[in-house]
């Protein structure tokens, strides 16, 4: 271990030990005044945002932060320095956190390929879990997460925080109320316009000092370090580019599609598609990403179609928004994104046009909902089974793309009827990692 790294971790651990020995509630949280001890795994840009939102909640103390990259770990420890409960302990291995009996809840904001394993192990260790979306990289893994949450009676909230934003709740209520009329078509999209160089094409190299690359890869296939596979921006301007490699994620289909299709399925009582067809590829970008830069997926649901579109070469769209959801009914169209909810009356309809601006990101509310459910033992608004469904829908879209087939989903057995496409339902873990519920 690098000497500076060793000294940083040693200092952080030593300074926090006494502060947390007597102050942190241990065991099951029972009452509204019990202090909740929280650990945070994966301290990249998303993980640090979660740390900040969580620290705003009453009676929560960030007990520990964990990352395999020194730079991220130090940034997270600095954020937690000023909290009333004292500084957070810095950990290099998430297993140390799961074995710590003083920690009640864990937040998992690692790259996607770690979500399932860490969530299952946290449930087995008696922790409540807040896990970022998409919850898994395969449909089978997502199912294991639900199985673990139920088997060990754990509260597991997914990071689809739009469910905690009031204007998204209003949009869902409008669709369900029938005010839009019969909705037979829903469009979702992410459009952008980057230069054709994209994220570039760096060569494989040695990992930078202070990064445990083998631990970062974990159950994913062994590969040499590549700056884009790791993808952490030194200046913190953007989220990690691991999202564009199949070993760790599923491109925009799973990264953003989950947010959009989660709202669609919520509006239709958690409906699942019966089939998916997809077309796409790398038609514009010349970087080393593997996932497509141009994509269109059509999902057939009972009674309606939903489309997800992504492109990186042109950002023009309805309402000059680079992402959003449009519910098309025979009486009105409803547009919703994180800025507003807007109703546009259809020709001949008696409905009046109106709009509702968003007043909150939903992030603080989402954490509040999670912690309240930790206390009451109720299912949270983004319970793991709900995000398993929206994640699996997006994974189905990628299965259709990668197999080159229309794929039909049996959502009772969580499989597809096309044998050639079934290899994408699961993946083999690299040893010594083995997921078991």
pLDDT given for residue 237 in this prediction = 85
Instruction: State the total domains in the chain.
Output: 2
Peptide bond into 432 cis (omega under 30): yes
pLDDT given for residue 18 in this prediction = 31
Same-domain check for residues 112 and 179: no
Q: Does a structural domain hold residue 367?
A: no
pLDDT given for residue 360 in this prediction = 84
Same-domain check for residues 153 and 206: no
* Domain end point (choices 162, 197, 230): 162
Q: Does a structural domain hold residue 67?
A: yes
Same-domain check for residues 231 and 130: no
Q: Which two tokens stand for residue 200?
A: 């570039």
| Tens-digit pLDDT string for the chain (437 aa) | 444 444 444 444 333 333 322 223 334 555 555 899 999 999 999 999 999 999 999 999 999 999 999 999 999 999 999 898 899 999 999 999 999 999 999 999 999 999 999 999 999 999 999 999 999 999 999 999 999 999 999 999 999 999 999 999 999 999 999 999 999 999 999 999 999 999 999 999 999 999 999 999 999 999 999 999 999 988 888 899 999 999 999 999 999 999 999 999 999 999 999 999 999 999 999 999 999 999 999 999 999 999 999 999 999 997 889 999 999 999 999 999 999 999 999 998 999 999 999 988 899 999 999 999 999 999 999 999 999 999 999 999 999 999 999 999 999 999 999 999 999 999 999 999 999 99
The residues near 4 (Cβ < 8 Å, ≥ 6 apart) are 70, 210
- Give the three-state DSSP class for 357: strand
Same-domain check for residues 153 and 181: no
How many whole angstroms separate alpha carbon 352 and alpha carbon 374? 42
Spatial CA neighbour of 147 closest among 108, 116, 126: 116
Same-domain check for residues 34 and 63: yes
Q: Does a structural domain hold residue 380?
A: no
Which pTM value belongs to this model? Answer: 0.92
Q: What is the CATH number of the domain that holds 260?
A: 3.30.360.10
Q: Does a structural domain hold residue 182?
A: yes
Same-domain check for residues 89 and 176: no
> In angstroms, how far is CA 291 from the centroid of its own chain?
17
Same-domain check for residues 153 and 285: no
Q: What is the CATH number of the domain that holds 18?
A: 3.40.50.720
Q: Which two tokens stand for residue 290?
A: 């593997």
pLDDT given for residue 29 in this prediction = 55
Same-domain check for residues 158 and 246: no
Tell me the residue range of the domain where 114 lies: 3-162
The residues near 205 (Cβ < 8 Å, ≥ 6 apart) are 224, 225, 226, 227
Same-domain check for residues 200 and 267: yes
pLDDT given for residue 238 in this prediction = 85
Same-domain check for residues 141 and 240: no
pLDDT given for residue 17 in this prediction = 33
* Domain end point (choices 144, 162, 180): 162
Same-domain check for residues 104 and 224: no
Burial 148-182 (b: 16+ CB within 10 A, else e): bbeebebbbbbbbbbbbbebbbebbebbeeeebee
Burial 27-51 (b: 16+ CB within 10 A, else e): eebeeeeebbbbbbbbbbbbbbbbb
Same-domain check for residues 275 and 416: yes
* Domain end point (choices 122, 142, 162): 162
Q: Does a structural domain hold residue 197?
A: yes
Q: Does a structural domain hold residue 366?
A: no
Q: Does a structural domain hold residue 404?
A: yes
Q: Does a structural domain hold residue 371?
A: no
Are residues 266 and 302 in contact, defined by beta-carbon separation less than 8 angstroms?
Answer: no
């Amino acid at each position: 271990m690098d000497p500076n790294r060793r000294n940083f971790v040693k200092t952080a651990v030593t300074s926090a030990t006494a502060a947390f020995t007597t102050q942190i509630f241990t065991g099951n949280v029972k009452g509204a005044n019990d202090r909740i001890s929280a650990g945070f795994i994966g301290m990249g840009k998303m993980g640090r945002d979660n740390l900040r939102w969580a620290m705003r909640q009453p009676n929560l103390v960030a007990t520990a932060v964990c990352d395999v990259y020194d730079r991220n770990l130090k940034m997270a420890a600095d954020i937690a320095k000023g909290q009333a409960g004292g500084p957070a302990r810095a950990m290099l291995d998430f297993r140390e956190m799961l074995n710590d009996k003083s920690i009640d809840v864990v937040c998992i904001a690692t790259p996607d390929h770690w979500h399932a394993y860490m969530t299952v192990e946290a449930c087995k260790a008696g922790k409540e879990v807040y896990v970022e979306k998409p919850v898994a990289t395969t449909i089978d893994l997502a199912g294991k997460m639900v199985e673990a949450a139920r088997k060990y009676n754990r509260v597991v909230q997914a990071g689809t925080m739009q469910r905690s934003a009031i204007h998204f709740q209003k949009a869902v209520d409008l669709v369900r109320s029938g005010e839009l009329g019969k909705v037979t078509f829903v469009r979702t999209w992410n459009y952008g316009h980057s230069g054709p160089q994209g994220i570039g094409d760096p060569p494989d190299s040695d990992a930078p000092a202070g990064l445990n690359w083998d631990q970062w890869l974990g159950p994913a296939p062994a590969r040499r370090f590549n700056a884009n596979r790791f993808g952490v921006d030194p200046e913190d301007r953007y989220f990690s580019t691991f999202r564009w490699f199949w070993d760790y994620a599923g491109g925009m289909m799973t990264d953003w599609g989950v947010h959009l299709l989660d709202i669609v399925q919520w509006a239709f009582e958690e409906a699942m598609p019966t089939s998916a067809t997809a077309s796409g590829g790398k038609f514009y970008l010349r970087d080393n990403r593997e996932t497509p830069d141009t994509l269109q997926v059509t999902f057939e649901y009972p009674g309606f179609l939903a489309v997800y579109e992504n492109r990186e070469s042109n950002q023009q769209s309805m309402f000059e928004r680079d992402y959003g959801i449009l519910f098309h009914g025979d009486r009105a169209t409803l547009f919703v994104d994180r800025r507003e909810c807007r109703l546009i009356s259809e020709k001949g309809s008696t409905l009046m046009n109106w709009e509702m601006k968003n007043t909150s990101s939903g992030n603080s509310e989402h954490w509040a909902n999670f912690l309240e459910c930790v206390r009451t033992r109720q299912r949270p608004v983004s319970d793991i089974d709900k995000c398993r469904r929206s994640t699996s829908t997006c994974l189905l879209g990628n299965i259709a793309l990668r197999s080159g087939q229309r794929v039909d989903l049996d959502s009772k057995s969580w499989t597809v009827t096309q044998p050639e496409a079934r290899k994408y339902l699961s993946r083999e873990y690299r040893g010594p990692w083995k997921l078991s519920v």
